[in-house]
Copies of this chain bind each other. A is one copy, B any other.
Amino acid sequence: MARLDRVATGRYHHGDLPRAVLDVTADLVAESGPFSWSLREIARRAGVSHAAPAHHFGDKAGLLRTLATEGFELLDAAFAAAEVDAAGRSAAERHLAQGMAYLAFAREHPGHYDVMFRRGLFEPDDAYLEVAARTFVRLVESAERVVAEAGAGDADDLAVASWALVHGLAGLTAEGFVEPVDDADLERRLLWACLLPAGS
């Protein structure tokens, strides 16, 4: 699309190449993971010369770091919106709503998601660490509200378990091991994880 734009207009300057490069990267990561492509491939898809992406992002690590940081911004915004939507309901219901928002984010931004939760792709910088920490705080605070409401349990354990549940579901669904289902079924799945302790 970016290529068509440029071919059509014949512009020398792209207009917003960083944006186009990030979009292409997100697509490529969603298609084949965070490794199986080159900066030249990204340049080709964006319709620019092979050296252009490096002009903005330096190298592959810089590109992935920017994508991951943008991903956390999006996830944090999704959490904030879910909190507004579920205001006034019980802590447990708000926690469930947050989990559903997480799964919706993973489904809608598979490229960002894949890069966000993998270590070793890049060295984190301040912007990345700040927004990632901010997002995790929302998760822990939600768990704390649930524990306070229930009057029992450890908030950190609940936060980890909740995160693991949605993270695992997102991963298995993205890789095709689990069929996608509609939101009502999805909520039921999150809730039925609890059958296990009922029996012990």
Q: Is the CB of B191 within 8 A of A91?
A: no
Q: Which chain B positions have C-beta within 8 A of A134?
A: none
Q: Which of B92, B177, B192 contacts A158 (CB 8 A)?
A: B192
* A137 on interface, CB distance cutoff 8 Å: no
Q: Which chain B positions have C-beta within 8 A of A157?
A: 185, 188-189, 192
Bits for A126-149, please: 1 = Cβ < 8 Å to B, else 0.
000000000000000000001101
* A9 on interface, CB distance cutoff 8 Å: no
Q: Is the CB of A119 within 8 A of B175?
A: yes
* A81 on interface, CB distance cutoff 8 Å: no
Binds B, one of A19-27, A29-37, A50-58, A63-71: A29-37
Q: Chain A interface residue count: which class?
A: 35 or more
Q: Is the CB of B175 within 8 A of A161?
A: no
Known contacts: A193-B193, A196-B190. The answer to whether A160 contacts B147 by CB under 8 A is no
User: How far does the Cβ of A169 sit from chain B's closest Cβ, in whole Å?
Assistant: 4
* A positions within 8 Å CB-CB of B: 32-33, 35-36, 90-93, 95-96, 117-120, 146-147, 149-150, 152-154, 157-158, 160-172, 175-178, 185, 188-200
Q: Besides the contacts A92-B196, A119-B175, A192-B197, what 9 more A-B pairs have beta carbons closer than 8 Å?
A: A32-B120, A92-B197, A92-B199, A95-B199, A117-B177, A154-B188, A163-B172, A171-B171, A190-B196
